[in-house]
Amino acid sequence: MIPSLRKGHLAGLAGLLLLMPLPAAAEDGPALLDANCGGCHAADETGVLSRVKGQRKTPEGWLMTIVRMRLFHGMEITPEDQGKLVHYLSETQGLAPSEAADYRYILEREPAVVEDVDAPLGEMCSRCHSAARFTLQRRTQEEWDLHIDFHVGQFQTLEYQALGRDREWLKIAREEIVPLLAERYPLESDAWTTWLEARKPEANGTWLFTTTLPDKGEAYGRLEVSGDAQPLTVSGSLVTAAGEELPVSGRLNVYTGYEWRANLDIGGDKYRQILAMSEEGDRLSGRQFLHAEDSLGGAFRAVKAGGTAAIAGVVPSTLPAGSEETVQVVGTGLGDVALSGALVASGGAANLYGASIKVTPSDETDGLVSVASGEASAENAIAVYSHIDSLKVEPAFGVARVGGGGGSAGKVPARFDAVGYWNGPDGEAGTEDDIRIGVVPARWTVAPFNEEAEHLKDVEHAGQMDTELGIFVPGVAGPNPDRPFSTNNAGNLKVLATNGDVTGEGQLIVTVQRWNDPPIR
C-alpha cells in the first residue's frame, strides 16, 4: 500500500464535493440558484441572474467560483446544496466535449505538461496561472471585460508585478485581451448548442479498462456502474501485470452528460478518476491518480461491454524476448486473438476482461505487434524487444515539492518512466525516426544537475529516489541547519534511468510548497 504523502487541499476537496448526492430532478436547479445566489446577483426580465448567465465552465470551474463566493463574499451554502448547484450549472452552462478536449490535462492533474501559450495571452494571463484555466471558460465580451475588473480588484498588486509593471497592463487587457478572449472563447457556440440537444451517454453498465498504478505498473480490470440516482455505485476488480487481483469499489458522479468524476478504493488505496465519456458512450479516457497525491497516477482507457467489438489496450504492452508471457487483450466482444508483426500467434482464451493468449518470443525478436479479434483491432499495441538502443526519461522535466515538517502542505513526489527506443533507419539514437518501444524496467538514481547542485549537496538533502519505481520523495520542508545559510531542501537534480548498458537522463527541480492549489491551477 502506498503511504499518504500529503494533507488535503482544494483539489482533494473537489474530489469530495463533486461526489455529493445530486438532485433527482433538474428543475431543482433554478430554485437552488436563486436561493443561494439571488441575494447578490440581480435577475433580468427573464429571471436569469446577472454575471452567472454570461459564463460557461467545467464542474471544477463552477466549484471554484462557489468556493470563492464563500471565502470572499460570505456566501453560506451546505455541502449538499453546493454539490447540487455545481451539477446544475455544469449541466446548463458547461462545456461541450469538443470545447474541453484540448485542455483536459489540467482537469486530470497531469503533473508534467509544459504549455506553449502565444502572445499576448502568455504575458498577460499565463504569467500567473495555466492557459487551460481561461481556455476552459466561455464568456460574453461583457463578462470577459468584468473579469479584468475582478483581477484588478482582487489582486491589487497585479500591475506592479513582473510582466505587469513594464507595460500598460490595464489598457492592453481592455483593448487587446478582452476582444481576443471574446472571439476565441465566446459564450455561444455551435458545439454547445449541439451538445445540449444531443442524447447523453449512459454511465451505467460494465467497463473494461487498462491503466497504470504508481507502485505496480500496468494493470487492467472491469468496473460495474449501477444506480438510479447519483452518486452511482462502482464495483469491480483490477489485475496487475504480475497477476495480483485487487477489489475496486467507490462512487461516481457524471456532469455535463460526459464528465466522469469518481472516488475509488483499489486494494485499500484511495484513487480519484477524472475521465471523459465519448459522445457515443462506448469509451472512457482520462487519468486516475492517488487521491492523496495527484502526481502519482496514470492514463485510464476503457471500452463499454455489450456494444460493438472493441479493444481498450493490452497488458503487458512491452515483452522482453525469450520469456513465456500471458498477454491480456482487454476489450469487449472478443473471440480468438490474432497477433501480427514481430510476433505471430493466434488463439487465446476468453475471460472476464476480454481474452488472453500465451506467447514466447524468440531470443532475437524485436519489433511491434498489432492485435486483432474479430472486427476489433489495435495497431502496434505490443513491443517485443531483445535489446534497447536508447532510453528516454519521461517526463523529461519534473517538479517535486518539499513538505511536512509541521506545516499544512505535505510532500509532493515526482514519478518518472523509462521509455526504450530502437534506432530508426538512420541507425542513430535521438533522431526523428527512432522507434518507441514503451516503458521498460530500469534502475533509478539521481545526480547533481550542475556544479552548483554538487556544491550544495542537493543529492544528499533534496530527497530520495526509489531505485525500482522511479518515484522521488522530496525532503522535509523548513530550514536545514546542515545547508549553507540554513536554506531549505530544494535541489536541482539529474534523473538517471539505466537498463543494461543504456542510460536516459531527465531533470528534476525540487522546490518549495504550493500554498494555493485549486482544482484548476
Q: Are residues 64 and 168 in the same domain?
A: yes
Q: Are residues 142 and 288 in the same domain?
A: no
For residue 281, count CB atoms less than 10 angstroms from its CB and return exposed for 0-12, middle for 13-18, buried for 19 or more. middle
Cα dihedral value 94, 59, 513, 71, nearest 10: 100
Tell me, yes or no, whether 519 lies in a domain.
Answer: no
Q: Are residues 160 and 94 in the same domain?
A: yes
What is residue 442's DSSP assignment? -
> Omega into 441 within 30° of 0, i.e. cis?
no
Give SS3 for 134. Answer: helix
Examine the fold and report which residue of 285, 304, 323 is the final residue of a domain before the chain moves on.
Answer: 304
Domain of residue 399: give its range. Answer: 390-511
Structure confidence at residue 219 (pLDDT): 98
| Residue position matching grid coordinates 500529503 | 6
Q: Which residues contact 404 (CB under 8 A, 6 or more apart)?
A: 410, 411, 476, 477
Cα–Cα distance for residue pair 341/345, rounded to 1 Å:
10
Let me know: does 117 contact 106? Beta carbons within 8 Å. Answer: no
What is residue 403's DSSP assignment? B
Tell me, yes or no, whether 21 lies in a domain.
Answer: yes
Side-chain half-sphere exposure of 388, counting CA atoms within 13 A: 26
Cα–Cα distance for residue pair 419/336, rounded to 1 Å:
30
| Residue position matching grid coordinates 476489433 | 376
CATH assignment of the domain containing 480: 2.60.40.10
Angle between helices 10-17 and 59-73 (to 10 degrees): 110
Cα–Cα distance for residue pair 509/449, rounded to 1 Å:
9
Tell me, yes or no, whether 160 lies in a domain.
Answer: yes
Cα–Cα distance for residue pair 135/185, rounded to 1 Å:
7
| Per-position b or e across 156-175, b if 16+ CB within 10 A of its CB | eebeeeeebeeeebeeebee
Rg (CA), the chain: 25
Q: Are residues 410 and 502 in the same domain?
A: yes
Q: Are residues 211 and 143 in the same domain?
A: no
Side-chain half-sphere exposure of 167, counting CA atoms within 13 A: 13
Let me know: does 251 contact 19? Beta carbons within 8 Å. Answer: yes
Tell me, yes or no, whether 321 lies in a domain.
Answer: yes
Tell me, yes or no, whether 358 lies in a domain.
Answer: yes
Q: Are residues 59 and 190 in the same domain?
A: yes
Tell me, yes or no, whether 1 lies in a domain.
Answer: no
Q: What's the helix, strand, coil split of the chain in %, to 5?
A: 25, 35, 40
Q: Give whole-number Cα distances, 293 to 61, 239, 398, 417, in Å.
A: 21, 22, 15, 17
Each of the 521 residues of the chain gets a pLDDT tens digit; together they read 454 454 444 556 566 556 666 544 445 889 999 999 999 999 888 878 899 999 999 999 999 999 999 999 999 999 999 999 999 999 999 999 999 999 999 999 999 899 999 999 999 999 999 999 999 999 999 999 999 999 999 899 999 998 999 999 999 999 999 999 999 999 999 999 999 999 999 999 999 999 999 999 999 999 999 999 999 999 999 999 999 999 999 999 999 999 999 999 999 999 999 999 999 999 999 999 999 999 999 999 999 999 899 999 999 999 999 989 999 999 999 999 999 999 999 999 999 999 999 999 999 999 999 999 989 999 999 999 999 999 999 999 999 999 999 999 999 999 999 999 999 999 999 999 999 999 999 999 999 999 999 999 999 999 999 999 999 999 999 999 999 999 999 999 999 999 999 999 999 999 999 998 999 99
CATH assignment of the domain containing 282: 2.40.128.120
- DSSP H helices, 228-339, are none
Decide the pairing of beta strands 310-315 and 205-213.
unpaired
Q: Which helix (H) or strand (E) holds 250?
A: strand 245-255
Tell me, yes or no, whether 348 lies in a domain.
Answer: yes
Residue 171 C-alpha cell reads as 489598457
Q: Are residues 176 and 324 in the same domain?
A: no
Question: How many beta carbons lie within 10 A of that of residue 105, not counting itself?
Answer: 16
Q: Which residues contact 172 (CB under 8 A, 6 or more apart)?
A: 120, 124
> Omega into 316 within 30° of 0, i.e. cis?
yes
Residues comprising the chain, all counted: 521
| Per-position b or e across 251-271, b if 16+ CB within 10 A of its CB | bbbbbbbbbbbbbbebbebbb
Structure confidence at residue 47 (pLDDT): 78
Interior CA angle at 101 toward 95 and 107, to 5°?
Answer: 80
Side-chain half-sphere exposure of 341, counting CA atoms within 13 A: 16
Structure confidence at residue 8 (pLDDT): 45
Give the DSSP letter string of 23-63. -SSTTHHHHHHHHHHTTTSPB-TTSPBTTGGGEEE-HHHHH
Cα–Cα distance for residue pair 328/347, rounded to 1 Å:
12
Q: Are residues 323 and 209 in the same domain?
A: no
Examine the fold and report which residue of 304, 319, 337 is the final residue of a domain before the chain moves on.
Answer: 304
Q: Are residues 420 and 467 in the same domain?
A: yes
Q: Are residues 428 and 493 in the same domain?
A: yes
Interior CA angle at 366 toward 350 and 436, to 5°?
Answer: 90
Q: Are residues 243 and 295 in the same domain?
A: yes
How many domains does the chain divide into? 4
What is residue 17's DSSP assignment? H
What does pTM read for this prediction? 0.94
Tell me, yes or no, whether 468 lies in a domain.
Answer: yes
Cα–Cα distance for residue pair 54/140, rounded to 1 Å:
6
Let me know: does 266 contact 297? Beta carbons within 8 Å. Answer: no
Examine the fold and report which residue of 385, 412, 432 is the final residue of a domain before the chain moves on.
Answer: 385
Q: Are residues 367 and 429 in the same domain?
A: no
Cα–Cα distance for residue pair 487/510, rounded to 1 Å:
13
